[in-house]
Structure formats: C-alpha cells, structure tokens
C-alpha cells in the first residue's frame, strides 16, 4: 500500500508536464454515446442543429479564423445500428456524414453537413472515428 506522500508525488509527477499539442480528432465518447469531431482547442458554444446533431462554435473566434470548430452526433450507437454502420471497426467519417444526410433530410442538416462538417473533416484530414468502445464488453 502506498503512503499519502508516495501518492502525492505520483500525482505531482503526472501533472507536472506541459500539456501535449492539440490535434484535430474524431472520437467516440462511450459515456455520453456520441461521436465528437473537434478541430480546434477553444471555448465552444454548442448549438443544436437537429435532435441528433450539434455544431461546436468558437465563442471568441478572431478575424481570419473559422467560427465552426466541430460537431457532435448524439445517440451514436443507435444511429449506427439503425443505419447499418458496423461498430466492429473504425467508421469512415464521410460514410457517417452520408448516413446523417440520408436519415435527416431537413434543410438545416443538409446545409450544416455539406457546408460545414464536410469542409472541417476534409481540411483537417479526419478520415475515421474509432467506435470500438461502442461494442459491449465480453465478461
């Protein structure tokens, strides 16, 4: 068993380094059952476009930078299963966006996906999202 001093030293060591450089990414948040695509580290305002789709906006975007910095697909497990997207392997983000357009043909979704989301993932070369955490764990 570790002493409080040993635990304190380990915590200080863990948090003493500089944070790593941010890299644009797409990831599956298992606890919230959503897929998040984030291209810039900043304070964000989340604006719901659709019951399943939220856009992330830079709250203090300066001139010359883009206002939109990501998006979230809520209910990701159900959405993928409902649309025949396998959770057994990483999902191509383009395929995910195609499925969103097919499932939700509302104008706001169409405009966001075609005008913002596709541009973000293309510019930042975000090709896949790993959803392996979405699979039930074997005992």
92 vs 66, which has greater pLDDT? Answer: 92
Domain-located, residue 13: no
Confidence (pLDDT) at 138: 38
Q: Which contiguous run of DSSP H or E holds residue 91?
A: strand 91-92
Number of structural domains (the chain) is: 1
pLDDT of 122 > 80? The answer is: yes
Q: What is the domain extent for residue 82?
A: 22-134
Mean pLDDT of 92-106: 95
Average pLDDT across the chain, whole number? 88
Residue 20, pLDDT above cutoff 60: yes
Is residue 116 one of the residues assigned to a domain?
A: yes
Confidence at residue 18, expressed as pLDDT on a 0 to 100 scale: 66
Is 102 inside any structural domain? yes
CA proximity to 126, closest of 90, 83, 84, 99: 90
**48 within domain boundaries:** yes
Partners of 129 in the β-ladder: 91
pLDDT at position 136 over 50: no
Question: For residue 49, what are the contacts with CB-CB under 8 A and spacing of at least 6?
Answer: 55, 108, 109, 112
pLDDT beyond 90 at 36: yes
Q: Pick from 20, 104, 34: which is nearest to 70 by CA?
A: 34
Give the pLDDT score at 8.
79
């Amino acid at each position: 068993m570790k002493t409080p001093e040993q635990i304190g030293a380990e915590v200080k060591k863990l948090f003493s380094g500089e944070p790593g450089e941010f890299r644009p990414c797409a990831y599956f948040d298992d606890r919230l059952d959503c897929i998040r695509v984030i291209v810039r580290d900043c304070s964000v305002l989340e604006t719901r476009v659709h019951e399943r789709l939220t856009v992330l906006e830079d709250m203090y975007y300066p001139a010359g930078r883009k206002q939109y910095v990501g998006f979230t697909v809520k209910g990701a497990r159900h959405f993928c299963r409902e649309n025949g997207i396998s959770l057994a392997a990483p999902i191509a983000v383009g395929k995910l966006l195609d499925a969103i357009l097919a499932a939700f043909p509302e104008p706001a979704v169409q405009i966001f996906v075609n005008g913002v989301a596709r541009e973000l993932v293309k510019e930042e070369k975000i090709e896949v999202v790993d959803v392996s955490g979405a699979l039930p764990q074997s005992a």
